[in-house]
Chains A and B, each alone.
Chain A
Amino acid sequence: MNRHLCVWLFRHPSLNGYLQCHIQLHSHQFRQIHLDTRLQVFRQNRNCILHLLSKNWSRRYCHQDTKMLWKHKALQKYMENLSKEYQTLEQCLQHIPVNEENRRSLNRRHAELAPLAAIYQEIQETEQAIEELESMCKSRQSLALWPRLECSSVIIAHFNLELLDSSNPPTSASQVAGTTGLNKQDEKQLQELALEERQTIDQKINMLYNELFQSLVPKEKYDKNDVILEVTAGRTTGGDICQQFTREIFDMYQNYSCYKHWQFELLNYTPADYGGLHHAAARISGDGVYKHLKYEGGIHRVQRIPEVGLSSRMQRIHTGTMSVIVLPQPDEVDVKLDPKDLRIDTFRAKGAGGQHVNKTDSAVRLVHIPTGLVVECQQERSQIKNKEIAFRVLRARLYQQIIEKDKRQQQSARKLQVGTRAQSERIRTYNFTQDRVSDHRIAYEVRDIKEFLCGGKGLDQLIQRLLQSADEEAIAELLDEHLKSAK
């Protein structure tokens, strides 16, 4: 069982992060080399598969960190429990009569567990296939202990050979082949067959583990939503480094949404003097926008020697900050707005209004009385359009409040968290003098700041890494909870 765990841990790419510190030098060849090239190595060296694997397995097992093992044992246990629950549910729903309410909730749970149970089943079957393959090899264990054996033990197994006398080990493939009546050509063919089979099984199990991890990660409620992105320059004692930086970051996000083929609609843009940006807001709509941008919220810090603007006079390193807020955009039904709670301020003409007055001031201010939120808009010439935009922004802000309330209740200890805690923490530092961007949550560094600020591949890669870390943390948390509840 443990051997299987090792293989499983080793194979899954997303766990490489955990295993990096634990994999020893001699097994590097496994990690870095792609399956195909490994096959080449096999073919070249004509080593016994089992021989190689078993040697490394035992060593790796010894060096495994017990904590990691425990964590992944926990995953195994979790999956076992889930599949047991699924089976009992199935029996329960079929045989035991239950009342309507319970039935509905049981049905729901059943539907939830169905895909997980299916994947787990498949994994079991595939692991069994591997086991069979290896047990066939294992029965020829004596062969495995001979380091210079060059023929594949699978061939032997395939032909149901007798266990050779250990006192008289064969020293070459041809010797073995000779005793069994095989010629070199058949040998090679069978070797290749065996390796191919092993390869397909490996690929299949990789895929299954990927699927399992994807289904286990809890889906965020708001991932598919559009967002409103707001940037605000921080405050410094002097100079306008924050405002310049805010403009660069806003441009970066605009380019990024172009790169991802999203729509970028400017809602508000308030420039500062000398070309900087005080605060701005934009609506970004497309596929999975919130999923990608949710970890961008927080304080971004900049360190540079300014070239333009007020601060450029003294050639010293300045530090500035700016904050990014990402609000998922709700659908109409998500946020209920009672007209009684709203006060709409527009230009009020004295007297009768209407035909008596010709005014061009179409600015609208929306005040939500219970929460005190104020939204202003004068993007459009048409007053009713300004009102629509203001409503949209107000809905998004209220929605954000609802989400923050949810998050606070969850009390997650995750490092990558979206919510109030992240808002006041520095998440990223952009150091122009050293030409690097570092994200503090995952200790990830990117070089070439200029390319990064173009909002293309560099930013995308960082975001992918963030999402990956978040998934891993989510699963770890899931397992922790499960263990706690099991106790």
Chain B
Amino acid sequence: MELWGRMLWALLSGPGRRGSTRGWAFSSWQPQPPLAGLSSAIELVSHWTGVFEKRGIPEARESSEYIVAHVLGAKTFQSLRPALWTQPLTSQQLQCIRELSSRRLQRMPVQYILGEWDFQGLSLRMVPPVFIPRPETEELVEWVLEEVAQRSHAVGSPGSPLILEVGCGSGAISLSLLSQLPQERLRGSSWMREDRAAPSPLWFTDSNAYHIYLARLWPRRKGCWSRVIAVDKREAAISLTHENAQRLRLQDRIWIIHLDMTSERSWTHLPWGPMDLIVSNPPYVFHQDMEQLAPEIRSYEDPAALDGGEEGMDIITHILALAPRLLKDSGSIFLEVDPRHPELVSSWLQSRPDLYLNLVAVRRDFCGRPRFLHIRRSGP
């Protein structure tokens, strides 16, 4: 089963590929009989819900509703223009629904089937195996925005913090922060012309090259607006974040860098100054829990985006260990973690007084589980 999953993932992990049809060769999928006559949206939803339930697909009704709504051009079935609910569908639309539903029968997550999903109201492209943002993470973004607002209120000037996101994936956290953070614009058109001339940096694997590049460009951007540096070790994630940034016209405010956080080499020379904030939804699943994940996750999402090692702490501790080099004094780190982590993190921080980090607050998610950590740096 796992081998099948890995093969599938390997096939699907090409950049920009939206759930290819090659997966069919491995499945025991049977062709569905064509629906007789013209069907309306409501009837189709009932039909496919029945099919999914028979095959034990979880969230049968929600999946079929999303698929039908998507084919008819709406985000949710509830928001579909009411006239379309009873109108008969074209054969093209029926065919499309059939195709998408067959992918659902192979346990592909709905987000990959549709190729897009919403996060904090932004519409983002989703491509396997890049990690699908979870609804809990929306609350992490809310918390960060509250903190930024509070801080700028205290200082008395509009906040334009420098933010680093570790493990950006599809760019959900970075882009939703950017779209909601205040921006200051420089007056005068000369700045705009300058901006257009500068190509937006993508990714560099040679640290020397981007070191020089950034050093050249950075001074021009000083004092402009909130900036985010997004980092990920997977090229697929980098290109997806870039695509989403362009979709939302935020490509000028985000710096997307292909970088493996855990490798020692990356942090020896940093071209950018210390950060105000580090935000991350790092892989935090305990290694022994990886097997119990649903097929949707196991077979389609990048395990490296989920597996956090034995206690799920590997990446978390890496980020925290880099704080002295990356973070300003009294800068903050915001993390999403497993409900068992707040205590583990607290005791780990106590074992590393050299980092000068304190666990300031733990926030619960909408299910009441302790999910988010706020760690602040205080000291030399």
Contact = CB atoms under 8 A, between A and B. Distances in A.
Interface of A: 247, 266, 268-269, 271, 275, 277, 344, 346, 348-349, 352-362, 378-385, 387
A173 to B, nearest CB: 73
Interface in B252-293: 281, 283-285, 289, 293
A356 B285 contact: yes
A438 to B, nearest CB: 29
Contacts of B338: 352, 354-355
B227 interface: no
Contact of A382 (B62, B110, B132, B138): B138
28 contacts: A269-B78, A344-B366, A346-B135, A348-B367, A349-B367, A352-B289, A352-B369, A353-B365, A353-B367, A354-B136, A355-B284, A355-B306, A356-B289, A356-B297, A358-B109, A358-B296, A358-B301, A360-B59, A360-B66, A360-B109, A379-B76, A381-B75, A382-B118, A382-B120, A383-B135, A384-B121, A384-B135, A384-B142
Contact of A275 (B86, B139, B281): B86
Contacts, number: 104
Given A271-B85, A346-B367, A357 B119 contact: no
Given A268-B78, A354-B336, A355-B306, A382 B59 contact: no
Nearest to A346: B366
Interface residues of B, number: 46
B295 to A, nearest CB: 10
Given A269-B82, A355-B285, A381-B76, A360 B366 contact: no
A382 B369 CA distance: 20
A380 B75 contact: yes
B138 A358 contact: no
Given A380-B79, A385-B118, 14 more contacts: A344-B366, A354-B365, A355-B281, A355-B284, A355-B285, A358-B111, A358-B132, A359-B59, A361-B62, A381-B66, A381-B118, A382-B118, A382-B121, A384-B121
Contacts of A349: 367
B50 interface: no
Given A348-B367, A381-B117, A384-B120, A362 B135 contact: yes
Contact of B134 (A247, A354, A379, A381): A354
A290 B66 CA distance: 35
B376 interface: no
Contacts of B78: 268-269, 378-379
Contacts of A348: 367
A268 B296 CA distance: 31
A231 B243 CA distance: 42
Nearest to A382: B118
B59 A361 contact: yes
A346 B138 CA distance: 14
Contacts of B66: 360, 381
A349 B173 CA distance: 22
A271 B82 contact: yes
Nearest to B339: A352
A274 B111 CA distance: 32
A358 B336 CA distance: 16
B102 interface: no
Interface in B103-157: 109-111, 117-121, 132, 134-136, 138-139, 142
Nearest to A349: B367
What are the nearest 9 A-B pairs in CB distance?
A: A381-B118, A382-B118, A383-B135, A384-B138, A360-B110, A385-B121, A379-B79, A361-B62, A354-B136
A378 B66 CA distance: 12
Nearest to B305: A355
Nearest to B308: A355
B371 interface: yes
A353 B339 CA distance: 9
A378 B65 CA distance: 12
Nearest to A345: B366
B290 to A, nearest CB: 10
B88 to A, nearest CB: 13
A383 B118 CA distance: 9
B174 interface: no
A383 B138 contact: yes
Contacts of B339: 352-354
Contacts of A355: 134, 281, 283-285, 306, 338
Given A353-B365, A378-B76, A358 B121 contact: no
Contacts of B101: none
